[in-house]
Amino acid sequence: MSGMREPGAAPDSVTLKQASLYWLKLGFISFGGPAGQIALMHHDLVEQKRWISESRFLHALNYCMMLPGPEAQQLATYIGWLMHRTVGGLVAGILFFLPSFFMLCCLAWVYMAYGSLPTVAAVFHGIKPAVVAIVLFAAWRMAMKTLKNPLLWSIAILAFIAVFIFKLPFPWLVLAAGLTGLAGGLYAPAYFHTAGVHGMPQPGHGPALIDDTTPTPAHARFSWQRVRRVMLCGIGLWLVVMLALIGAYGWQGAFTQMSWFFTKAALLTFGGAYAVLPYVYQGAVEQYHWLSPGQMIDALALGETTPGPLIMVVTFVAYVGGWNAEVFGSGHAGWSGLVAASLVTFFTFLPSLVFIFLGGPFIETTHGNLRLTAPLSAIAAAVVGVIFNLALFFAWHIYWPHGLASAVDWFSVVLSLLALLAVLKYRVNVALVIVASGLTGALTPWLFS
pLDDT in tens, 11-38: 778 999 999 999 999 998 887 667 678 8
pLDDT (0 to 100) of residue 246: 97
Q: What is the pTM of this model?
A: 0.72
CA 368, CA 193: separation in Å to the nearest integer? 11
Taking residue 29's Cβ as centre, other Cβ atoms within 10 Å add up to 18
* Residue 371, pLDDT score: 63
Nearest to 80, CA basis, from 11, 13, 12, 23: 23
**pLDDT score, position 32:** 62
Backbone angles phi, psi at 49, to 5 degrees: -80, -25
3-state secondary structure of 72: helix
3-class secondary structure, 366 = coil
User: What pLDDT shows up at residue 367?
Assistant: 67
DSSP alpha helix (H) spans, 307-332:
313-325
| DSSP-based three-state secondary structure for 291 | coil
**Calpha distance 17→11 (Å, rounded):** 16
- Inform me whether the pLDDT recorded for 82 exceeds 90: yes
What pLDDT is stored for residue 182 in this prediction? 86
Let me know: does 18 contact 84? Beta carbons within 8 Å. Answer: no
Reply yes or no on whether the pLDDT at 197 is more than 60: no
- 52 - beta bridge partners? 210
Give the torsion sign (CA, 56, 61, 64, 65): negative
The predicted model gives 138-167 an average pLDDT of 86
Q: From CA 125, how far away is CA 122, in angstroms rounded?
A: 5
Residues 6+ apart with CB under 8 A from 297: none
CA distance 228 to 352: 17
Mean pLDDT for 339-349 is: 96
pLDDT-derived band at 326 (thresholds 50, 70, 90) equals confident
Integer Cα distance of 314 and 124 in angstroms: 18
Alpha-carbon distances of 103 from 91, 106, 236, 316, 441, rounded to whole Å: 19, 5, 30, 10, 20
pLDDT value of position 318: 95
